[in-house]
Amino acid sequence: MRLRRLRRTDALRRAVRETRLDPAQFLWPLFVRSGTGLRSPIGSMPGVFQTSVDELLKDAQQAVNARIGGILLFGIPDTKDATGSSAWDPHGPVAEAVRAVKQAFPQLLVVTDVCMCEYTDHGHCGVLTPEGDVDNDATLDLLAQEAVAHARAGADIIAPSDMMDHRIGYLRAALDAHGFQHIPIMSYAAKYASAFYGPFREAAESTPAFGDRRSYQMDPSNAREALREVRQDVQEGADILMVKPAGAYLDIIAAVKQDTGMPLAAYQVSGEYSMIKAAADRGWIDGERAMMESLVAIARAGADLIITYFAIEASAVLARR
Ligand code: PBG
């Protein structure tokens, strides 16, 4: 046996490739705020912007043209308060964006991130107890109101990223009670307390005012616990599971795929994106190759869907191949 025989030419390598990427598996995260004509660059994420709804429609058009799987919306509200009440505002940026995008591009898949951290003045993913802890059960009702508001606006999938216990069952019941039995839930099921979210917090203006998220997001050291998280979410009615971040958690992606057999998404987060961009910008790595390698690795580990800020760029590379 000579394994090099099948590596000799590009045609041979292409023919025996085990993992193939497809733009249809990419979800592109976008940040929307109120206003018009707004497209502000995010310093720590070259090529990523906060936009108003009119500008977002241009990105949605790009998503349609590139034939990617869909977009994932995050909102930056005008006002924040202790309970994050603008999260379920029917005229908040996410609801307005969903309506506008679905009207312009009914066939484009629109997923909404459901969480409180962009909407609370303290930046935590739920409401606080008088002692300053995140109050799990009091937060569930607020998440439910947010999820129903997104579904009413026309979201195709609801994606809760808060990591409160029992939120999947609670949101499933709330969606069902409001006539949204047909709307799937993509659960950020195994979401780790990760340093790789750094640039996102600038993008979403959601840095916690005090403390960190380690009392609700998972400890990076734990793998068995990820399976307990995902099994619980499956039991409570999750339709798609997610592992986040992706690149440093390929073992978790593989284990979840093997254990559950569920449709599985992985989120290549802001820090993963920005590291590649920054190193490529300095000429230290080949940015395009590193981008494609990072994505194929996530797919090879078992992810069906990849949430990535590279969605459009990577689709352009695939279109040339
Ligand atoms: C909100 C949320 C975060 C991300 C997605 N949803 C940030 C966090 O938990 O602090 C991170 C995404 C990224 O880094 O690209 N809870």
Binding site as annotated, residues for Zn(2+): 115, 117, 125
Q: What is the pLDDT of residues 217-253, one digit of tens each?
A: 999 999 999 999 999 999 999 999 999 999 999 999 9
Residue nearest to atom 10 of ligand 1 (CA): 197
Residue in 58, 80, 244, 277 annotated catalytic: 244
Concerning whether 244 is annotated as a catalytic residue, the answer is: yes
Pairing of strands 70-76, 157-160: unpaired
Mutate to test the pocket of ligand 1, among 188, 196, 197 (most ligand atoms within 8 A of CB): 197
Give CA–CA dist 170/148, Å, rounded.
Answer: 12
Atom of ligand 1 nearest to the CA of 269: 15
Is ligand 1 within 6 A of the CB of residue 125? yes
Residue in 80, 102, 191, 277 annotated catalytic: 191
Pairing of strands 186-191, 264-268: unpaired
Give CA–CA dist 26/214, Å, rounded.
Answer: 28
Mutate to test the pocket of ligand 1, among 114, 158, 161 (most ligand atoms within 8 A of CB): 161
Series of mean pLDDT values for 10-residue runs along the chain (321 residues) = 98 98 98 97 97 98 98 97 95 98 98 96 95 96 98 98 98 98 98 97 92 96 98 98 98 98 98 98 98 98 98 98 87
Atom of ligand 1 nearest to the CA of 271: 14
pTM here is 0.97
For the chain, give every domain's residue range: 20-320
Is ligand 1 within 6 A of the CB of residue 30? no
CATH code for residues 20-320? 3.20.20.70
Q: Cα dist. 111→36, 106, 195, 269, 306 in Å?
A: 22, 13, 24, 16, 13
What per-residue confidence (pLDDT) applies to 321? 87
Residue nearest to atom 11 of ligand 1 (CA): 197
Give CA–CA dist 101/51, Å, rounded.
Answer: 13
With the CA atoms of 168, 169, 171 and 176 taken in that order, what torsion angle do they form, in degrees rounded to the nearest 10? 130
The helix/strand count (H/E) of the chain reads as 11, 10
For residue 156, count other CB atoms closer than 10 A to its CB. 18
Q: What own/partner pairs with CB < 8 Å and gap ≥ 24 does 89-97 have? A: 89/149, 90/149, 90/152, 90/153, 92/149, 93/32, 93/33, 93/34, 93/53, 94/32, 94/150, 94/153, 95/149, 95/150, 95/152, 95/153, 96/32, 96/34, 96/53, 96/153, 97/32, 97/53, 97/56, 97/73
Q: What is the pLDDT of residues 166-190, one digit of tens each?
A: 999 999 999 999 999 999 999 999 9
What per-residue confidence (pLDDT) applies to 297? 98
Give CA–CA dist 179/117, Å, rounded.
Answer: 27
Paired tokens of 96 = 């307005």
Concerning whether 80 is annotated as a catalytic residue, the answer is: no
Binding site as annotated, residues: 115, 117, 125, 201, 213, 229, 270, 309
